Amino acid sequence: MQRRTFLKNGTLAGLGLTLLNFPLLGKAAPSNKIILAVMGVNSRGNWLAQVVAKLPGAEIAYICDVEDGAIKKGLDAVAKVQERKPEVIRDIRKLLERKDFDALIIAAPDHWHAPAAIMACAAGKHVYVEKPCSHNPQEGEWLIAAAKKYGRLVQMGSQRRSWPNMQQAVKEIREDKVIGNVYYARGWYVNNRAPIGTGKVIPVPSTLNWDLWQGPAPRKEYLDNIVHYNWHWRWHWGTGEACNNGTHEIDCMRWFLGVEHPEKVSSGGGRFAFPKDDWETPDTQSITFEFAQGKAITWEGRSCNNYELEGAGRGFAIFGEHGSLYNSGGDSYKILDAKGKLVKEVKETHHDVTNVVSPAGEFLDAVHLNNFLESIRGTASLHAEINTGFRSVLLCQLGNIAQRTGHTLHCNPENGHILNDKDAMARWGRSYEDGWKPVV
């Protein structure tokens, strides 16, 4: 389906003037077209490429990936929605030498997010980077510095910041104070992930450039259970479920409570669900964040047991002096009074639980991507600019540091830095392959 047909008949037609707010021959004219490249198109990036290519005045010019199967997926997906066939460039460094595109979408593995974004900023590109925006706290700070130094817009994939019902709910909680002063939030995510086994050292498949896949990470031998997905559960490349999925609810809870950096962070859990395999990050984890304002957040993740909490596999609840707000993972919410009686319910219409790549569905992802494009055009402001995005990711990373050290962390509430704990502070950054350390 080409863009014109989709705009007339597809789900994005529902965006209407309230989101696009310009005629097709206005901002979508050639002089206003935004040309993009997408890095990492096996799964999430494949989806984002399709969604953004359907937006007026946007076109995918380049695909950057290091595996043949993923490249084919990306090309096939984009061919469905635009006439131009993207050029494939496997090395991100070579891609960023090109002057004929405006912005980079990054959906590569986590260890690539910040390094690629920093390089893109230095090359004069705006950036849309999926969560988490960095593999570790140091990279997040470097990325903020790079965006500022090079004057680039960097949007993180905290899509809920653009969802209309979530924006309305935040206003009701923070400005209208419909449940009074809020002081506590509880979030959760559950899944039924299987064991990943013990990887075997085998020759690198001819379809994969393993050196470029590793990029900034120090080199390791190729194992048969890493690519495409199980790297999430290895600290060398991934960031665990807290950053993989917890980022979304933790970001919302921080947003609703109006808090920034914590004073105290603790975490309990481990790899509990299955006998020992190569899975290193927690499959069961509970993190608590305490803030100077007398507020707290807890998040529970269960990667391998999908018993739902509060009737949903993911979501969050906000508690105040006069009631509570409940979210079941999508763009909907309920407000209850102090006795638990339903006061208001706002239902969503666009959530798609059958879409494993994007349960939010196409419309809600498009809203966030469109905010990125309109911000580049100068007609909007980013809803999840990198300073905001990193504050939420930092909470997840502090939770992981607390988990890995077994320590309760005491932090500077001004910037989130860990205080008086050498073991924990040593995990603020990471080592890099020679020649690959990000430079701002």
pLDDT in tens, 43-71: 999 999 999 999 999 999 999 999 999 99
- Structurally, the chain folds into a number of domains equal to 2
The verdict on residue 44 lying in a domain is yes
Can you tell me the distance from the alpha carbon of 119 to that of 140, in angstroms, rounded to the nearest whole number? 13
Does position 216 have pLDDT exceeding 90, yes or no?
Answer: yes
Residue 437 lies in a domain: no
Say whether both 230 and 192 belong to one domain: yes
Residues 26 and 66 in one domain: yes
Helix ranges, 262-353 (H): none
Share of the chain above pLDDT 90, in %: 89
Determine, yes or no, domain membership for 277: yes
Based on the domain organization, do 169 and 237 belong to the same domain? yes
In this structure, the answer to whether residues 130 and 173 fall within a common structural domain is no
Instruction: Based on the fold, state whether residues 223 and 124 are members of the same structural domain.
Output: no
Q: Are residues 70 and 17 in the same domain?
A: yes
Q: Are residues 75 and 110 in the same domain?
A: yes
Residue 221, pLDDT > 90, answer yes
Provide the pLDDT for residue 355. Answer: 57
Is 49 part of a structural domain of the chain?
yes
Q: How far lies 7's CA from each of 24, 113, 278, 362, in Å?
A: 10, 31, 45, 13
- Residue after which a domain boundary falls, among 135, 160, 185: 160
224 and 334 together in one domain:
yes
Q: 334 pLDDT band (50/70/90 cuts)?
A: very high
Strands 314-320 and 182-190: antiparallel
Mean pLDDT of the chain: 92
Q: What is the DSSP secondary structure assignment for residue 325, as one 8-state letter?
A: E
Residue 330 sits in a domain whose CATH number is 3.30.360.10
pLDDT of residue 23: 37
Considering the domain architecture, whether residues 279 and 324 belong to the same structural domain is answered as yes
Portion of the chain with pLDDT greater than 70, in percent: 90
413: helix, strand or coil: coil
Structural domain harbouring 11? 3-160
Residue 29 pLDDT exceeds 70: no
Q: Is residue 168 part of a domain?
A: yes
Report how far residue 336's alpha carbon sits from residue 345's, in angstroms, rounded to the nearest whole number. Answer: 9
pLDDT value, residue 349: 74
Q: In this structure, are 227 and 121 located in the same domain?
A: no
Contact 131, 429 (CB under 8 A): no
For residue 80, what pLDDT is reported?
Answer: 95
Domain final residue pick, 99, 131, 160: 160
The answer to whether residue 22 scores a pLDDT higher than 60 is no
Residue 145 sits in the same domain as residue 170: no
- Listed in order, strand segments (DSSP E) in 126-257 are 126-129, 154-156, 182-190
> What is the tens place of the pLDDT at every residue in 79-134?
999 999 999 999 999 999 999 999 999 999 999 999 999 999 999 999 999 999 99
The DSSP line for 191-215 is -BPPP-----B-PPPTTB-HHHHHT
Give the residues across from 298 on adjacent strands.
186, 288
Assign residue 140 the CATH number of its domain: 3.40.50.720
**Which of 38-42, 219-223, 354-358, 359-363 has the least mean pLDDT?**
354-358
Lowest pLDDT segment from 19-28, 211-220, 316-325 = 19-28
Q: What Å distances lie between residue 38 and 52, 74, 234, 346, CA to CA?
A: 10, 9, 24, 35
Residue at a domain's end among 118, 145, 160: 160
Q: For residue range 344-379, what is the model confidence (pLDDT) as tens digits?
A: 999 987 665 555 566 667 999 999 999 999 999 999
Has residue 6 got a pLDDT over 90?
no
The Cα–Cα gap between 427 and 397 comes to 10
Q: Which of 17-21, 24-28, 168-172 has the highest mean pLDDT?
A: 168-172
**134 and 181 in a common domain:** no
- pLDDT value for 348: 87
Burial 69-104 (b: 16+ CB within 10 A, else e): ebbebbbebbeebbeeebebbeebeebbeeeebbbb
